[in-house]
């Protein structure tokens, strides 16, 4: 019983890391990780466009102060 208490957590950790490695290799080989940068770039461009649209136009404030 004491052997399982010592070896058990290490065996479980080893099985979990082998499972994570298998999932990573499967993802790479199936191409699931091939377009990750494209989504980030699309999100960044959308944020830039939203900031450009939502930004207040300062020259209108200047024209109103001159009048």
- Region of 31 (left: φ > 0; alpha: ψ -120 to 50; beta: rest) is left
Task: For residue 48, give the H/E element and its range.
Answer: helix 36-54
**What's the pLDDT at 55?**
62
pLDDT tens digits for 19-43?
999 999 999 999 888 877 888 899 9
Check residue 60 and report its DSSP letter.
H
Per cent of the chain over pLDDT 90 is 37
Record the pTM.
Answer: 0.51
Domain boundaries, the chain: 2-66
Helix, strand, coil % over all residues of the chain, rounded to 5: 85, 0, 15
């Amino acid at each position: 019983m004491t052997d399982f208490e010592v070896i058990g957590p290490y065996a479980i950790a080893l099985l979990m890391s082998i499972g994570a490695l298998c999932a990573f290799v499967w993802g790479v080989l199936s191409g699931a990780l091939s377009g990750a940068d494209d989504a980030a770039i699309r999100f960044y461009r959308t944020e830039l466009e939203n900031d450009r649209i939502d930004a207040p136009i300062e020259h209108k404030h200047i024209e109103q102060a001159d009048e």
